[in-house]
C-alpha cells in the first residue's frame, strides 16, 4: 500500500517539484495539496503558476488546495506523511503543529538546527535519524520533524563526506547560485540580468553551520557537530537551475589527485545499498573536461540527483580544489525530501 502524503507549500517552486517527483511514485501517493490563504479553496491549476517544463498532471490540476492547517488537511483526506515546502518564516510553528500528529519531512530552515531534529542527507548521515525517538520523547509528539539541508549545503556535504577518510580540516566555498533557489517570482529580472548579486541573506551562515551538523557524530542522545572550519561566500547568478560551487579543502592526509577523484567516484551510501527508488546510481559523477561541470549541461545528471564534480586539482594553499554542481530544486530540495522519506520507509520509521 502506498503511503498517503500531503504537500505544504504545494504551489511553490519546491512544491511543484514534489508533485513532479511523487507522481507515479511506487511508495507514496499525493492526497492533499496545501498552500496559503491566497490559494485555499481554489483548484490547483488556478492557484498555481506552474513553472516546470513537464505539464501539470491533469488530476493534480483538478485537486482543491486547502489551507495549511492540521484540521483542514485532516478533513481533506487521510495522510500518513507531510512534506513541507513552506517559507522558513512560516514553517516554525506550523510544522510543530503537524508533527504533533504526523511525520513531517521539511525543506524549510526553521527547525534545521534544533538539537533534537535531524538534518538528513541519506547518503551522508542516515544514522542521525536515530535522534527521532529522543525528539518524540522531548516534545510529546505522535509524529516528528526531519529536515533536509539548504540546497547549496547538500551538494557540498555530499562531496565532503567522500573526503572524510582523508581528514577534512577546513574549507572555503564560493557559490554561484541559480535563480530558482530564491523561489517564485524570486529575484526581479532587472536586478539579475547582466549581473551577479554577491549576497544571499543568511545563506553563508546556513552553509557553515548546517555542514558541521550533517558531518557531525550522533552518540545515541545528541549530535556533536564536526570539528572543522568552514568559510562560505554566496552569490546569485543569472542561471535558472543548478548551483555551481568552487570548493577549496585542506586535508590532514595528503592524497594524490587521483586518490581524491577515486574517493568521489567510488562514493555510495545507504540509498544505493538499499536501492531506494530515487537514489542515483552515482551520488557523485566526476567529469574530466576542463570546462565542466556547467549548469546547463550537468544539472540533470542522475535525474537531477547526482552531484557533478570537475576540475579536481591540487591547491597551493589548501590541499585540493574542485567545482561541484547540483540541481537545487531536485537534489537540493524536493528530490532530497523524497529520498529522505524513502530511507525512513526502508528503515521502518515510516
Ligand atoms: N527553491 C529552492 O531551490 C529551495 C531549495 C531548498 C530549500 N528551499 C526551501 O523550500 C521552501 C519553499 O521554497 P520555494 O522556493 O518553493 O518558495 P516559493 O516558490 O515562494 O513557494 C512558497 C510556498 O509556500 C506557500 N506559502 C507562502 N506563505 C504561506 C503561508 N503564510 N501559509 C501557508 N503557505 C504559505 C506558498 O503558497 P501560495 O502560492 O498560496 O502563496 C507556496 O506554495 C523554503 O523554505 C525554501 O527556503 C528552496
Measured in Å, residue 8 CA sits from the centre of ligand 1 at 9
Measured by CA distance, the residue closest to atom 34 of ligand 1 is 36
d(CA 44, CA 342): 26
Q: Write down the pLDDT at residue 225.
A: 98
Tell me whether residue 345 is exposed, middle or buried, using C-beta atoms within 10 angstroms of its C-beta: 0 to 12, 13 to 18, 19 or more: middle
Q: What structural domains does the chain harbor?
A: 3-150+334-346 (3.40.50.720), 151-327 (3.30.360.10)
- Stretch 213-241: mean pLDDT, rounded? 98
- Is pLDDT of 284 > 90? yes
Measured in Å, residue 109 CA sits from the centre of ligand 1 at 11
128 is a catalytic site residue:
no
- Summarised one tens digit per residue, pLDDT across range 65-86 is 999 999 999 999 999 999 999 9
Measured in Å, residue 11 CA sits from the centre of ligand 1 at 8
Q: Residue 312 contacts by C-beta under 8 Å, 6 or more apart in sequence? A: 257, 260, 261, 264, 286, 320, 321, 322
Measured by CA distance, the residue closest to atom 30 of ligand 1 is 36
Q: Write down the pLDDT at residue 222.
A: 98
Measured by CA distance, the residue closest to atom 22 of ligand 1 is 12
- Summarised one tens digit per residue, pLDDT across range 318-339 is 999 999 999 999 999 999 999 9
Contact between 56 and 50 under an 8 Å Cβ cutoff? The reply is yes
Return the best residue to mutate from 36, 201, 304 for the ligand 1 pocket (most ligand atoms within 8 A of CB): 36
Size (the chain), residues: 350
Percent of the chain with pLDDT over 70: 100
Query: Which residues have C-beta atoms less than 6 Å from ligand 1?
Result: 9-15, 35-36, 38-39, 68, 85-88, 90, 107-109, 150-151, 180-181, 183-184, 328-329, 332-333
Q: Write down the pLDDT at residue 178.
A: 98
pTM of the model: 0.98
pLDDT averaged over every residue in the chain = 98
- Summarised one tens digit per residue, pLDDT across range 28-44 is 999 999 999 999 999 99
- Summarised one tens digit per residue, pLDDT across range 130-140 is 999 999 999 99
- Stretch 192-218: mean pLDDT, rounded? 98
Instruction: Choose among 66, 132, 129: nearest CA to 99.
Output: 132
- Summarised one tens digit per residue, pLDDT across range 290-325 is 999 999 999 999 999 999 999 999 999 999 999 999
- Stretch 113-128: mean pLDDT, rounded? 98
d(CA 139, CA 38): 31
CA 279 to mean position of chain CA atoms: 13
- Summarised one tens digit per residue, pLDDT across range 206-218 is 999 999 999 999 9
Measured in Å, residue 20 CA sits from the centre of ligand 1 at 16
Q: How far is CA 62 from CA 36, 66, 157, in A?
A: 18, 13, 39
- Is pLDDT of 1 > 90? no
Q: Write down the pLDDT at residue 302.
A: 98
Q: Residue 43 contacts by C-beta under 8 Å, 6 or more apart in sequence? A: 61, 62, 63, 64, 65
Helix (H, G, I), strand (E, B) or coil at 44: helix
243 is a catalytic site residue:
yes
CA dihedral 271, 273, 278, 280 (to 10 degrees): 100
Q: Write down the pLDDT at residue 82.
A: 98
Q: How far is CA 31 from CA 10, 112, 287, in A?
A: 12, 26, 40
Tell me whether residue 220 is exposed, middle or buried, using C-beta atoms within 10 angstroms of its C-beta: 0 to 12, 13 to 18, 19 or more: exposed
Tell me whether residue 20 is exposed, middle or buried, using C-beta atoms within 10 angstroms of its C-beta: 0 to 12, 13 to 18, 19 or more: buried
d(CA 13, CA 182): 9
Amino acid at each position: 500500500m502506498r503511503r498517503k502524503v500531503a504537500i505544504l507549500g504545494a504551489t511553490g517552486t519546491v512544491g511543484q517539484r514534489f508533485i513532479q517527483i511523487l507522481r507515479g511514485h511506487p511508495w507514496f501517493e499525493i492526497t492533499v495539496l496545501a498552500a496559503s490563504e491566497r490559494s485555499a479553496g481554489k483548484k490547483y491549476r488556478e492557484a498555481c503558476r506552474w513553472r516546470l517544463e513537464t505539464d501539470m498532471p491533469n488530476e493534480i490540476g483538478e485537486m482543491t488546495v486547502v489551507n495549511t492547517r492540521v484540521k483542514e488537511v485532516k478533513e481533506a483526506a487521510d495522510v500518513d506523511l507531510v512534506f513541507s515546502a513552506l517559507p522558513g518564516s512560516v514553517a516554525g510553528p506550523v510544522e510543530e503543529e503537524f508533527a504533533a500528529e504526523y511525520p513531517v519531512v521539511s525543506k524549510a530552515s526553521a527547525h534545521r538546527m534544533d538539537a533534537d531534529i535531524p538534518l538528513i542527507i541519506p547518503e551522508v548521515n542516515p544514522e542521525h535519524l536515530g535522534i527521532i525517538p529522543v525528539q518524540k520523547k522531548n516534545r510529546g509528539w505522535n509524529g516528528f520533524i526531519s529536515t533536509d539541508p539548504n540546497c547549496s549545503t547538500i551538494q557540498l556535504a555530499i562531496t565532503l563526506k567522500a573526503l572524510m577518510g582523508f581528514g577534512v580540516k577546513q574549507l572555503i566555498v564560493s557559490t554561484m547560485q541559480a535563480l530558482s533557489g530564491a523561489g517564485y517570482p524570486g529575484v526581479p529580472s532587472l536586478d539579475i540580468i547582466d549581473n551577479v548579486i554577491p549576497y544571499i541573506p543568511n545563506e553563508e551562515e546556513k552553509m557553515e553551520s548546517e555542514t558541521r551538523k550533517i558531518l557531525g557524530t550522533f552518540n545515541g542522545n545528541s549530535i556533536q557537530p564536526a570539528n572543522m572550519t568552514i568559510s562560505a561566500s554566496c552569490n546569485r547568478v543569472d542561471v535558472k537551475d543548478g548551483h555551481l560551487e568552487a570548493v577549496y579543502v585542506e586535508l590532514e592526509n595528503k592524497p594524490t589527485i587521483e586518490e581524491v577523484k577515486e574517493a568521489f567516484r567510488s562514493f555510495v551510501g545507504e540509498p544505493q545499498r538499499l536501492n531506494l527508488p530515487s537514489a542515483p546510481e552515482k551520488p557523485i559523477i566526476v567529469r574530466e573536461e576542463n570546462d565542466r561541470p556547467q549548469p546547463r549541461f550537468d544539472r540533470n545528471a542522475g535525474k537531477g540527483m547526482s552531484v557533478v564534480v570537475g576540475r579536481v586539482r591540487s591547491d597551493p594553499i589548501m590541499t585540493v580544489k574542485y567545482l561541484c554542481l547540483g540541481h537545487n530544486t531536485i537534489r537540493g530540495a524536493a528530490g532530497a525530501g523524497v529520498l529522505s522519506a524513502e530511507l525512513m520507509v526502508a528503515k521502518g520509521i515510516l
